[in-house]
């Protein structure tokens, strides 16, 4: 039988959940209001000639351009190409970065050997590597993926390897105390303790993959959202540039939210 204390705790918990839901609703309302006010001010500034329409365009013109490109079928192919490249770079970057982190954790000697090279590669401007990728891999998909991996792999390695080193040493000692091998230490102590950090790198890699792909498309692509931005600059169609940036923001946000939901689902079952 539930006691009065249990009932009070349940009521308090229910009230807390209601307060959180109410706060979430207000957060969404304020976010929408800020966006709406910004768009209205932008539209008004353009209509009243407060800003240069040639450079900054305005929301209704951007939406009209996007609608026209949707109707004539010229927008979605570019979106599809960029999403495909981003997904490839995202998956491969996360996989290779995690495997490299495991490798250097497994071998302290290899960790000491690779440490200066990882630091140098992390500090190097990735755009500077683009011409090398173009010459070595050709002006195509491989160069774009290589540019993306040059960003995602190193960051993933540093984050995941850092989480390995921050695991409580007592966990490792307990496994070793019972005669556990290095593989068992990793599987039973290091990996479970680092799992949240590994999953959280997925969200980081979403943004990094988009950066890598867009930079790669700036350099070599003949299709994709990065190509549309460069083309818009070349023909002085800044409405096309801003429209493409808007599409990137929307698609990247959707992808980020999907990864965030995946993170919640994975960590919920731990």
- Here the CATH number for the domain that contains residue 154 is 1.10.3720.10
pLDDT band at 5 (very low <50, low <70, confident <90, very high): low
Is the pLDDT at 25 greater than 60? The verdict is yes
Mean pLDDT for the stretch of residues 42-51: 90
Q: What is the pLDDT of residues 70-82, one digit of tens each?
A: 999 889 999 999 9
Angle between helices 238-268 and 76-106 (to 10 degrees): 40
Phi-psi region of 125 (alpha: psi -120 to 50; beta: other; left: phi over 0): beta
Residue located via tokens 């910004």: 38
Residues 151 and 261 in one domain: yes
Residues 6+ apart with CB under 8 A from 199: 263, 266, 267
Spatial distance between the Cα atoms of 266 and 208, rounded to a whole number of angstroms: 21
Closest C-alpha to 256, from 223, 198, 209: 209
Residues 107 and 30 in one domain: no
- The pTM for the full model equals 0.84
Is the pLDDT at 88 greater than 70? The verdict is yes
Let me know if residue 57 belongs to a domain: no
- The predicted structure's pLDDT at residue 33: 94
- The predicted structure's pLDDT at residue 81: 92
Residues 8 and 140 in one domain: no
Spatial distance between the Cα atoms of 238 and 61, rounded to a whole number of angstroms: 11
Let me know if residue 171 belongs to a domain: yes
- The predicted structure's pLDDT at residue 84: 93
Lowest-confidence segment of 13-22, 153-162, 171-180, 244-253 by average pLDDT: 13-22
Residues 30 and 80 in one domain: no
Cβ-in-10-Å burial (0-12, 13-18, 19+) of 125 comes to exposed
Residues 104 and 15 in one domain: no
Let me know if residue 36 belongs to a domain: yes
Mean pLDDT for the stretch of residues 208-215: 90
Residues 43 and 91 in one domain: no
Is the pLDDT at 19 greater than 80? The verdict is no
Spatial distance between the Cα atoms of 160 and 175, rounded to a whole number of angstroms: 21
Residues 169 and 124 in one domain: yes
Please give the mean pLDDT across all residues of the chain. Answer: 85
Q: What domain count does the chain have?
A: 2
Let me know if residue 163 belongs to a domain: yes
Let me know if residue 55 belongs to a domain: no
Residues 173 and 86 in one domain: yes
Let me know if residue 56 belongs to a domain: no
Residues 105 and 224 in one domain: yes
Mean pLDDT for the stretch of residues 158-178: 83
Q: 237 or 20, which is more confident?
A: 237
Phi-psi region of 3 (alpha: psi -120 to 50; beta: other; left: phi over 0): beta
| Both tokens assigned to 224 | 């994709």
- The predicted structure's pLDDT at residue 36: 94
Residues 171 and 95 in one domain: yes
Residues 28 and 85 in one domain: no
- The predicted structure's pLDDT at residue 13: 62
Spatial distance between the Cα atoms of 156 and 208, rounded to a whole number of angstroms: 10
- The predicted structure's pLDDT at residue 11: 64
Residue located via tokens 């000491």: 112
Q: 252 or 193, which is more confident?
A: 252
Q: What is the 3-state secondary structure (H, E, C) of 88-113?
A: HHHHHHHHHHHHHHHHHHHCHHHHHH
Let me know if residue 60 belongs to a domain: no
Instruction: State the residue range of the domain holding 18.
Output: 4-50
Q: What is the DSSP letter of 188?
A: I
SS3 48: coil
pLDDT band at 14 (very low <50, low <70, confident <90, very high): low
Residues 15 and 74 in one domain: no
């Amino acid at each position: 039988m539930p006691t009065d204390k249990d009932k009070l705790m349940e009521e308090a918990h229910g009230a807390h959940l209601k307060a959180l839901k109410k706060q979430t609703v207000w957060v969404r309302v304020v976010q929408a209001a800020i966006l709406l006010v910004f768009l209205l001010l932008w539209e008004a500034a353009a209509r009243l000639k407060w800003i240069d329409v040639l450079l900054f365009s305005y929301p209704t013109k951007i939406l009209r351009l996007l609608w026209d490109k949707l109707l004539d079928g010229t927008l979605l192919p570019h979106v599809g190409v960029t999403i495909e490249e981003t997904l490839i770079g995202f998956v491969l970057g996360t996989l290779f970065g995690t495997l490299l982190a495991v490798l250097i954790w497994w071998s302290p000697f290899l960790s000491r050997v690779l440490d200066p090279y990882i630091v140098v590669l992390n500090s190097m401007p990735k755009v500077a590597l683009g011409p090398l990728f173009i010459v070595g891999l050709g002006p195509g998909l491989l160069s774009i993926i290589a540019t993306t991996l040059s960003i995602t792999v190193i960051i993933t390695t540093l984050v995941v390897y850092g989480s390995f080193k921050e695991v409580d040493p007592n966990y490792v000692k307990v496994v070793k105390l019972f005669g556990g091998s290095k593989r068992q230490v990793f599987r039973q102590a290091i990996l479970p303790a680092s799992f949240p950090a590994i999953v959280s790198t997925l969200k980081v890699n979403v943004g990094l993959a988009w950066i890598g792909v867009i930079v790669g498309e700036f350099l070599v692509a003949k299709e994709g959202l990065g190509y549309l931005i460069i083309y818009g600059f070349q023909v002085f169609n800044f409405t096309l540039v801003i429209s493409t940036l808007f599409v990137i923001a929307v698609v990247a946000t959707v992808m980020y939210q999907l990864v965030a939901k995946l993170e919640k689902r994975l960590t919920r079952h731990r």
